[in-house]
Amino acid sequence: MVVFERRSQDRQSPEWAGRLKSELLPSFADHAIDRLGCGDALLALSTLSLTAGDPLMQAAYLGSAAAAIEVTMLGNHPVEQSNLQGWLDTRRELDVQIAARESVPAQT
């Protein structure tokens, strides 16, 4: 997924009509069983996240997570909160302690 966002949300700002910021968000799916419902899951959770006030990239991340979960199910089934939480718990980039350790340069 490529996420596009305006540099300013103010229509009066000169930046509003300028170039869009973009960010690549690769698929989180390790394997696919059935793609049915993946787009629905992505859009549903992204929309919920944006409605709750989350930043665009966070909403895209959560939507992509829902799609990655959905693609592992046969048929179109709701992504349960417990499934999403379990998936998020396995993500190294979300582990604050690991992220802090990996961002510190090695001592030589």
Tokens of 56: 């665009």
Q: Taking the model in full, what pTM does it have?
A: 0.80
Q: What is the pLDDT of residue 95?
A: 83
Domain residue limits, the chain: 29-103
Q: What is the pLDDT of residue 29?
A: 92
- For residues 37 and 86, give the distance between their C-alpha atoms in angstroms, rounded to a whole number: 20
Q: What is the pLDDT of residue 83?
A: 94
In degrees, to the nearest 5, what angle opens at C-alpha 57 toward C-alphas 101 and 100? 5
pLDDT tens, residue order, the chain (108 aa): 999 988 887 888 888 788 888 899 999 998 899 988 999 999 999 999 999 999 999 999 999 999 999 999 998 999 999 999 999 999 988 887 665 666 656 555
